[in-house]
Structure 1
């Protein structure tokens, strides 16, 4: 459930950033690329979003 809520929050942030950069196409591409990469990193590194209990040690 946390992953779904995080994804909806991230989509909202991405839409807001793209609307703010409406007339600057290259900046929209850069922002989308950076936010997508940050989303992937956060999704894989944050234990709560990864579906693992916070107390579990990585192997």
Structure 2
């Protein structure tokens, strides 16, 4: 459930960033790439967002 809420919040952040950078296409690409990378890192590093199998394998 936490992963779903986090994903929806992150999607809102991405939409807001793209709306704020509406006239600057290269900045939209850069923001999308950076936020996508941060999202992937957050899913792998933050404990409450990790899947149960990944948590068990790490122990």
Same fold (TM over 0.5): yes
CA RMSD across the alignment:
1.6
CA–CA distance in structure 1, aligned partners of residues 51 and 27 of structure 2:
33
Give the aligned length: 56
Q: CA deviation at 1:40?
A: 0.1
Unaligned 5+ runs, structure 2: none
CA–CA distance in structure 2, aligned partners of residues 8 and 44 of structure 1:
17
Map 1:1-59 onto structure 2 (within 5 A). 1-52=1-52, 58-59=58-59
Unaligned 5+ runs, structure 1: none
CA–CA distance in structure 2, aligned partners of residues 43 and 51 of structure 1:
9
CA–CA distance in structure 2, aligned partners of residues 51 and 33 of structure 1:
24
More helix by share: 2
CA–CA distance in structure 2, aligned partners of residues 38 and 10 of structure 1:
10
* Runs of 4+ with deviation above 2 angstroms: none
